[in-house]
Each structure stands twice: as structure tokens, then as C-alpha cells.
Amino acid sequence: MGALVLRRFGALLAVLFGLACIVFVLQTVIPSDPARAMVGANASQEAVAAKKAELGYDDPLPAQFTQYLQRLAQGDLQSSLRTRNEVTADLREFAPATFELAFSAFVLAAAMGLGLGLLLAGGGRAGRVIRVFLIGGASIPAFLTGLLLIVVFYSWLGVLPASGRVGDNFIVPDGPTNLLIVDSILNGTPDLTLDAIKHLILPALTLALLPALAIARTLSTSLEQVSREDYVRTARSKGLTERTVLLKHALRNSSGPALTMSGLQVGLMLGGVVVVERIFAWPGIGLYIDQSIAYSDFPAITGATLLLGTAYVLVNFFVDLAQAWADPRIRTV
Amino acid sequence: MTTTTEQPPTMTEGAVPVEGPGAAAAREVPTPVARMWRGRPALSPGALKGDTVWHALIPVAILSLVILIAPVLAPYGATEVNPVGPLASPSPDAWFGTDEIGRDVFSRILIGIRTSWFAALGVILLGTIIGGLIGAIAGAFGGKVDMVLMRVTDLFLSLPAPVLAIAVIAAMGPSLRNTLIALSIVWWPWYARIVRGEVRALAARPHAEAAKLAGVSRTRLVLKHLLPGAAAPVIVTMSLDVGNLILALAGLSFIGLGAPPPAPELGAMSARGLQYLFGHPWVPIAPAAAVALLALAANLLGDAINRRLDQRTTR
């Protein structure tokens, strides 16, 4: 297991370096002029040229690349053209909201995927109904899910809020984690906790739906395959109930593909946060990207890309390790 | 030659995820040559080229034709104003109502569906061509070329495709063309994997050995003897991907990374209608529902093609 962790860690570093390279390539092919954007449209030619030299855009590409890597290593992502703040500072401000949303959605997706997958593999009438539901559900764009949830739960039933992280009548605490639910529990304000959870339900559900369906499909397929294996037949012929066979014998060996799928779905979710945060006015990285797009704020977008890309690679690193833990056969590979 | 000890052919090497883009690759789809090797009657050259594979695509062609000519039914143009006035409720005069400047939502949806469908097909085609080329080169040359190309492929597969696509479009500037390019850039690696695996597997088969001994050039060997074998798994993957791409395109269009207004793109229409959700829900919901319907049609078709080709290859 130790060697595996080391090897995967090496791969992780290589992928992160690759990500940095891709972002650098994007920066060099970008048609707009970042120096002009920074000094403003009315600045003189000399001011633009001076800014260009200051930013190092006159240097040869290899020198620019080394500079870029040095800045990355120091956590310097330049300044946003829109907010005029350091991108790092902006990201630090918006990241907790997105983390809260994506993490809840991921847990929700995993739980729903597990439940649906087991129901599907259990067969019977429920399985068939769910199968139809899966094909249909996989065709629904996240923004339709979001709109319908808002119409039903906010507009019609009036039980859940449809925008933001918290109601206007609450004072948002200053920390320590900036995760609203965690902070409100630490500060002992149960009203705020309840309100934050209420605000989280609809966006998290919207973000979780498609990944949950994908996880369920993968899990049920691999459960079906494993169910045909000899050891499962042995378990059945011993007289164990179908439930015990499924949960105690088949599930662990079928979890590999479902875990991989969960990791891959995080990629879909990180793209989805942009859409979901816009619909629910959720003040996170997605909304930051959405607003930066309108301003062609490239430093902000690359910074967010680097952050989300790194998060994705890290999650999949841990998924890999979880898989090796669940299935010892993988450890030798 | 080691032909007498050949194992029954198996699918591509390497771990391929079970769902999502490239889903079909994870399943065992023996090539025509593989069937021959199992002692089935020899196939005609036509079957080897995968004629049946192309027949499975007929429904796609029919649906494409319907989508192509459907805008003829649109009572109004994409930017034309329906005389019933702005934000009118659905009625016989305006089936899905009108938007904030009085344009006919039904007409714009029909035109938007056409854009979405052909954009999705375009990305698939572009991704397959890029991926196929890289996969074929990697598989045919092997060694260092293979290693370098597959490391690059792995790098792309290790990064979140939607996030990368957003960054690429943002860098190039939002337009429909750039969206298609960006999605192709993040979509090709799946196809490179599949094609490379198939080419590698086929290159070890007796017919490839025979062709090599007959002095066939490397280009001809790849084009005539190896690539056709990859057609079935590639087409299955393509057909299962169309639905995903329709959703991806709609999502990008929703966040403003598609054709600039006033182009009738379904995602952008829904996003701009967001502010009218409470008074006039059809403005944002009708285009979103159209995306769902189109993706459903694509997914059902993909499922059918998948099952049909499966039948062909596993019977």
C-alpha cells in the first residue's frame, strides 16, 4: 500500500504540473491584451508597454514559463481585471461557499447513487421503474432541475428559499472556517444553522442529481456482474437472504467501478457549480467564474480553473486510494 | 509467428471507466476478426469494413433530417417579433408564449434544437477525428511515440473536462465555433484510448501479420487492416456520447459561453429568461425542457445503437 501511495502521489504531481502547463498555453494564445486591460482602455501606449514589461510579456516564452511557475509556487495568481483584487484573495473569499455546496452535493450523490443502485440490482418491479427513471433523468440538464425545484419548493409550496446562502435577517459570522453551517454550529446559533441548511437543500439536490444517476447505473451494472460469480452463488446456496448476499458479499467487490465513477463525477459537478450557483445566486467560485466570463477577466478564470482542477485531481487521488483499500487486488497493479 | 498460441481476443488494455464518455470501451466488443478467430464462418470483406455498423446509424440520419427541416414549421424567424406582444402566455397564436421582447419562443426553440443537435454531432466528429488520429498513431508506432501520446491523453483524462472547456472558451472568446473547438479539445482523449487499444489488439492478430509479411506499407496496414476494426466500439461510444454533449453544450451556453445574443441557443435562452421565472415561467423553462427532450431522444437512440451493435458482435 505504501508503494502505491507513493506512485499515485508522483502521478498527482505530474498531473498538476500538466495542468499548470495547459493554463500557461492558454495564457499565451489568448487574443486579448491583458496589459491593456489592466491599465485601462484610455492609457497611453507607453503605459501599456511599461505594464507589459513589468508583467514580463516581452520576455521569451521559456523565461515567461519559469516566471509563471515561480509565481504559481508563491501562490500569486495576479489580479482580477474586474474586482481589482488579488485573484488568490478573491478565491479564498468564494471557495468556502463552493466547498460547502459541492461537498454536500457529493455526499448526497453518493448516498442516492448507492440507494438507487442497490434498488436497481435488487431487481423486481422497483428496479424496472427506476431503470426508466434513470434513462430519463440522465437527459435532464441541471438548469431544468434547478428551475423546476425552485418553482415547486419555493414558488408553489413556499417551504424552501431559492437564492443565496442565508436569509437577509441573519448576521453572517466572520469565521473561523467560513463554512456557514460549521461556523453557525461553533458559534452556537441554531437558527442560522437551520436557515443555512434550508438554503443548501435545493442547490445541492440540483448539483447531485446527474452524478447520483451515473453512480447508480455503474453500481448496479457491477453488482449484476459480481452476482454471477461463484462465491456469490455459494453464499446464496448456503441459504443466506438476498439482502445479506447483496450487502455483505457482493457490494464490496462491486464498489470499485462505482468509486471510480464517483471520482469522475466530481469533474462534472465542478463544471456544474457554475450553472447551479448562477441559478441559486450562490456566492461561490461558480458565480465568480460566471461574472468573470462576462468581463473577459482571464486572470480570474485561470485562477479558478487551477483551483478547481487541483481539487478534482486531489479528490481522484483519494478515490484511487479508497479503491485500493476496498479491493486489495488493485494494490499489486 | 505465434498464431497457434493466440488467446481468444479481449478488449482494450488499460482501465476504462464504466460510464460517461467512453462508456462503451469498458465493455467487451470483439472485432470482426476476433469473431473469425473463434471459428465462425469467414466474413466477407464488406462485413469486415463494418457495413452493419453503418446501418445502425440510419435512425440518426433520419432524426438529423427531421431536426434540419423542422424550423420550416416555425411560424416566425429567430429574431422576428410575434404580434401578440412581449411576455404573452402560451396560446394558439404563440404556442410556448413570447419572450421579453416579444419573440416567439416556439420558433426560437425549433431553431435552437437544430443548433444544439448539429453542434453536438460536430464535436463528436471532431473529437473522433482528433482522437482517432492520435490513437492510431500511438497504436501503430508503439514504443516511445505511444508512451508520449498516451501520457498526454492520460493528462487530459485526469483533469475535469467541463472546467477545462470553460477556461479554453474564456481564453479564445465566447462564440459557437470556439465552444465546439473547446469541447473537442476535452473530448478527444476517450477516443484516442479506444482506437489505440483496438489498433494494438488487432496488430497482434494473424491477418495483420500476414499483411505485414505481404509487404504492405505501414500506412496501408493501419488504414485498411487495423482501423476498420475499431469502428464498432468507436461508433457505440459516439452514439452514447451525443446526449452528454447536448447537455454539456446547453450548460456552457447557459453561462454565456456560446453564440452571442440574439442567437437562439437553448441554454442562453433559458439563462436570459431566468428573471421571468416567477411571472412567466415558460420563458426559461420551455427551452430547458427542449434540451431535456433532445438529450432524451439522443440517449434512447444511443441505447438502441448500443444494443444493436452489441448483438452483432457478441452473438
**Domain annotation for chain A: domains and CATH numbers:** 94-332 (1.10.3720.10)
Asked if A100 and A181 count as a contact pair (C-beta separation under 8 A), the reply is: yes
Instruction: State which amino acid sits at residue A46.
Output: E
* Contact residues for A124 (Cβ-Cβ < 8 A; gap 6+): none
**Cell 417551504 sits on residue:** A159
CA–CA gap between residue A186 and residue A211 (Å, rounded):
31
pLDDT in tens, B62-95: 999 999 988 888 888 888 888 888 888 888 888 8
Neighbours of A230 (CB within 10 A): 7
Cα–Cα dist A253/A331, whole Å: 14
Coil vs helix vs strand at B91: strand
Contacts of A151 in chain B (CB under 8 A): 277, 281, 285
Put simply, the answer to whether A141 touches B292 (Cβ < 8 Å) is yes
N-terminal to C-terminal alpha carbon distance within chain B: 29
The whole-model pTM stands at 0.84
H runs (alpha helix) in A228-297 = 230-237, 242-244, 251-279, 285-294
Query: Model confidence over B272-284: pLDDT tens digits?
Result: 999 999 889 989 9
pLDDT by residue (tens digit) across B157-185? 889 999 999 999 988 888 899 999 999 99
Backbone phi, then psi, for B98, in 5-degree steps? Answer: -130, 160
Cell numbers at A293, concatenated? 466570463
pLDDT of residue A142: 93
Of A144, A210, A270, the CB nearest to B160: A270
Contacts of B137 (CB under 8 A, 6+ apart): B145, B149
For residue B222, the distance in angstroms to the closest alpha carbon of chain A comes to: 30
| CATH 3.30.420.10 fits domain B101-314 | no
**Can you tell me the distance from the alpha carbon of A292 to that of A288, in angstroms, rounded to the nearest whole number?**
6
| CA–CA gap between residue A123 and residue A133 (Å, rounded) | 14
* Helix, strand, coil percent content, chain A, rounded in steps of 5: 75, 0, 20
pLDDT by residue, tens only, chain A of 333 residues: 788 889 889 999 999 999 999 999 988 877 666 677 677 767 788 887 887 777 777 778 888 888 889 888 888 888 888 888 899 999 999 999 999 999 999 999 999 999 988 888 776 677 777 777 788 889 999 999 999 999 999 999 989 998 888 887 777 777 777 888 888 888 888 888 899 999 999 999 999 999 999 999 889 888 888 888 888 888 888 888 888 888 888 888 888 888 888 888 898 899 899 999 999 999 999 999 999 988 888 889 999 999 999 999 999 999 888 888 877 776 654
**C-alpha–C-alpha distance, residues B173 and B184, integer Å:** 16
Which residues, given as ranges, of chain B have pLDDT below 50?
1-49, 312-315
B positions 244-283 inside 8 Å of A (CB):
247-248, 250-251, 254-257, 267, 270-271, 274, 277-278, 281
Distance (Å) from the C-alpha of residue B227 to the closest C-alpha of chain A? 29
B261 upstream amide cis, omega within 30 of 0: no
ipTM higher than threshold 0.85? yes
Residue type, B194: I
What does DSSP assign to residue B242? H
